[in-house]
A and B are shown apart, each in its own frame.
Chain A
Amino acid sequence: MTVDGPRGAALAEQGRLPAERVALVDLLDRLLAGGVVVSGDLVLSIADIDLVRISLRVLIMSVRENLGEA
């Protein structure tokens, strides 16, 4: 989704961070904090758990691992 994404591409070339992961962070900003929120008779309401926190923690852990291997 990055229009002028030389930064993401450059990072990917350097092996620091895959370009698609940069985009995933932007996507998660929107998919986990935006969009219509529905609750009620659901199997799972996203409000039940702090998915944003969980997902970001996982992302950070994963990025650290990648940096460590590099």
Chain B
Amino acid sequence: MTETGTYLYAVTEETPSSDVEGLHGVADTQVRTIPCEGLVAYVSTVPLDQFGAEPLRRSMEDLDWLGETAGAHHHVVEEVADRAPVAPVRLVTVYRGDEQVKDLLRERHDDFVDVLSSVAGRREWGVKAYVDLSAPGPSRTAPSLGGPGTAYLKRRQAGLRSREEAWRQAAAHAEHLHATLSTVAVASHRHRAQDPELSGRKEAMLLNGAYLVERSRDDEFLKTVDDLRDRGVEIELTGPWAPYSFTDLEVRGDG
């Protein structure tokens, strides 16, 4: 018989409706719940010939497997997030069995309650900003003060500096964007910029931000994003996401 482990997706507080019938997770396994002391862990039983340390080392390098598994994990988190404030757990967190998951919920009960209360009623938005340095810089034709000759010189200087300037301006705008969005958000986090080959864009990524926003301020947040578009910086919005970037609870079980 194949050995199995308990794959952990997310934790919530206990809710009246924690029914997960028909919900499937990684490797098409049935999701179930483990309630313990007012918290609920969303888990499924996974075969260790796929989810043991060694097989995982290999499969994490298989893009199809990774995409499928990340998608399945995300799907469960989304379903759970629809019902209650959720603390998503990092990809491929696998326990030896249910007892260890219960130990976790017992030992770190207060930490989970803290995290869950900090994300309740809030969602995460992603905002990425890019600058295209191959495009001509923003044309800023200043009113000509010193006659045609001076204007020509100014244009020429501007042309020489435009690339560097465009970059500086775009970077400054991205910083401004992040700072402004952070004032509307409850919390913010900057992920590292994505490699251009991964983002699928030739432009350089200046900002890969995540923002935790009160639902009641979603409209204000989205309007702020729109207001800050088109200043030499292209902005891409993703979300809303479950609060992945704001559950930075590091849990060290001693058991």
Give the interface size class of chain A: 35 or more
- Residue A70, interface by CB 8 Å: no
Residues of A within 8 A of B90 (CB): 31-32, 34-38, 46
Residues of A within 8 A of B35 (CB): none
Task: Name the one of B11, B63, B200, B241 contacting A11, with C-beta atoms under 8 angstroms.
Answer: B200
Residues of A within 8 A of B248 (CB): 34, 37
Residues of B within 8 A of A48 (CB): 53
Task: Name the one of B48, B74, B88 contacting A36, with C-beta atoms under 8 angstroms.
Answer: B88
Q: Would you call A40 and B200 a contact (CB within 8 A)?
A: no
Task: Name the one of B66, B124, B236 contacting A4, with C-beta atoms under 8 angstroms.
Answer: B236
Most buried by B among A7, A36, A37, A38: A36
Q: Would you call B200 and A59 a contact (CB within 8 A)?
A: no
- Residue B70, interface by CB 8 Å: yes
Q: Would you call B95 and A41 a contact (CB within 8 A)?
A: yes
A12 vs B124: C-alpha distance when bound (angstroms): 26
A63 CB, nearest partner CB in chain B, Å:
5
Most buried by A among B51, B70, B239: B70
Q: Would you call B88 and A34 a contact (CB within 8 A)?
A: yes
Q: Would you call A2 and B195 a contact (CB within 8 A)?
A: no
Q: From B246, which residue of chain A is reached at the shortest CB distance?
A: A34
A59 CB, nearest partner CB in chain B, Å:
6
A62 vs B252: C-alpha distance when bound (angstroms): 35
B100-115 with Cβ < 8 A to chain A: 100, 103-104, 112, 115
Q: Would you call B94 and A43 a contact (CB within 8 A)?
A: yes
Q: Would you call A22 and B200 a contact (CB within 8 A)?
A: yes
Residues of A within 8 A of B95 (CB): 41-43
Q: Would you call B194 and A25 a contact (CB within 8 A)?
A: yes
Q: Would you call B236 and A44 a contact (CB within 8 A)?
A: no
Most buried by B among A29, A42, A43, A55: A43
Residues of A within 8 A of B208 (CB): 29
Q: Would you call A35 and B247 a contact (CB within 8 A)?
A: yes
Q: Would you call B87 and A41 a contact (CB within 8 A)?
A: no
Most buried by A among B5, B51, B66: B66
Q: Would you call A63 and B198 a contact (CB within 8 A)?
A: yes
Residues of B within 8 A of A11 (CB): 200-201
Binding site for B on A (CB under 8 A): 1-4, 7-8, 11, 16-17, 20-44, 46, 48-49, 51, 54-60, 62-64
Binding site for A on B (CB under 8 A): 5, 8, 11, 48, 51-53, 56-57, 60-63, 66-67, 70-71, 73-74, 87-96, 100, 103-104, 112, 115, 124, 126, 189, 191-192, 194-195, 197-201, 208, 210, 236-239, 241, 244-255
Q: List 9 A-B contacts (CB under 8 A).
A: A4-B237, A20-B67, A26-B126, A30-B244, A36-B247, A39-B251, A39-B253, A46-B91, A46-B93
